[in-house]
Amino acid sequence: MNKDLIDKLNAQKQLSLTEWERLISDFSDTDRKYAADMAREISQSVFGKKIFIRGIVEFSNICRNDCLYCGIRRSNAELSRYRLTKEEIISCCKGGHEYGFRTFVLQSGEDAWFTVDRTADIVREIKKLFPDCAVTLSMGEMEREDYARLKAAGADRYLLRHETADKTHYEKLHPSSMSWEHRMKCLRDLKDLGFQTGAGMMIGSPYQTAECLAEDMQFLSEFRPHMIGLGPFIPHKDTPFRDMPSGSYELTLFLLSLCRIMLPEVLLPATTALGTINPKGREEGVLAGANVIMPNLSPLAVRKKYMLYDNKICTGDESAQCRNCLEMRMRSIGYEISVSRGDFGGTYK
Choose among ligand FES, ligand 5AD, none what residue 270 binds, the Cβ cut-off being 5 to 8 Å by kind. none
Q: CB-wise, 23 or 199, nearer to ligand 5AD?
A: 199
What is d(CA 187, CA 193) in angstroms, rounded to the nearest whole number?
10
**Stretch of residues binding ligand 5AD (CB under 6 A), selected from 41-49, 78-86, 230-238, 339-347:** 230-238
Query: Judged by CB under 6 A, does residue 314 bind ligand FES?
Result: yes
DSSP assignments along 262-295, one per residue: HSTT-B-B--HHHHHHSTTHHHHHHHTT--EE--
Query: Judged by CB under 6 A, does residue 332 bind ligand FES?
Result: no
What is d(CA 344, CA 295) in angstroms, rounded to the nearest whole number?
19
Burial of 84 (0-12, 13-18, 19+ CB in 10 A): buried
Provide, rounded to whole angstroms, the least separation between the CB of residue 67 and ligand 5AD: 7
Query: Judged by CB under 6 A, does residue 53 bind ligand FES?
Result: no
Nearest to 254 by CA among 276, 283, 287: 287
Candidates 321, 331, 340, 345; binder of ligand FES (CB under 6 A) is: 321
Query: Judged by CB under 6 A, does residue 330 bind ligand FES?
Result: no
SS3 category, 116: helix
C-alpha distances in Å from residue 103, one per residue of 158, 211, 280: 12, 35, 24
SS3 content of the chain, % helix, strand, coil (to 5): 45, 15, 40
Provide, rounded to whole angstroms, the least separation between the CB of residue 50 and ligand FES: 17
Q: CB-wise, 161 or 260, nearer to ligand 5AD?
A: 161
Choose among ligand 5AD, ligand FES, none what residue 214 binds, the Cβ cut-off being 5 to 8 Å by kind. none
Q: CB-wise, 1 or 320, nearer to ligand FES?
A: 320
What is d(CA 236, CA 74) in angstroms, rounded to the nearest whole number?
14
Query: Judged by CB under 6 A, does residue 71 bind ligand FES?
Result: no
Site for ligand FES in 152-211 (CB under 6 A): none
SS3 category, 104: strand
Q: CB-wise, 204 or 275, nearer to ligand FES?
A: 275
Q: Considering CB under 6 A, how many residues would be counted as binding ligand FES?
A: 7
Alpha helices in the chain (DSSP H): 3-12, 17-25, 29-47, 86-98, 116-129, 144-152, 167-173, 180-192, 210-223, 249-262, 272-277, 281-287, 300-303, 319-332
Residue nearest to ligand 5AD (CB): 309
Query: Judged by CB under 6 A, does residue 161 bind ligand 5AD?
Result: yes
Provide, rounded to whole angstroms, the least separation between the CB of residue 191 and ligand FES: 30
Q: CB-wise, 266 or 314, nearer to ligand FES?
A: 314
C-alpha distances in Å from residue 150, one per residue of 51, 123, 124, 294: 27, 8, 9, 22
Phi/psi at 337 (5° precision):
-80, 135
Candidates 37, 125, 310, 317; binder of ligand FES (CB under 6 A) is: 317
Amino acid at 134: A
Site for ligand 5AD in 193-212 (CB under 6 A): 202
Assign residue 59 a region: left if phi > 0, alpha if psi is -120 to 50, beta otherwise? alpha
Query: Judged by CB under 6 A, does residue 295 bind ligand FES?
Result: yes
Provide, rounded to whole angstroms, the least separation between the CB of residue 242 and ligand 5AD: 10
Contact residues for ligand 5AD, defined by CB under 6 A: 69-70, 161, 163, 202, 231, 233-234, 236, 273, 308-309
Contact residues for ligand FES, defined by CB under 6 A: 295, 314, 317, 321-322, 325-326
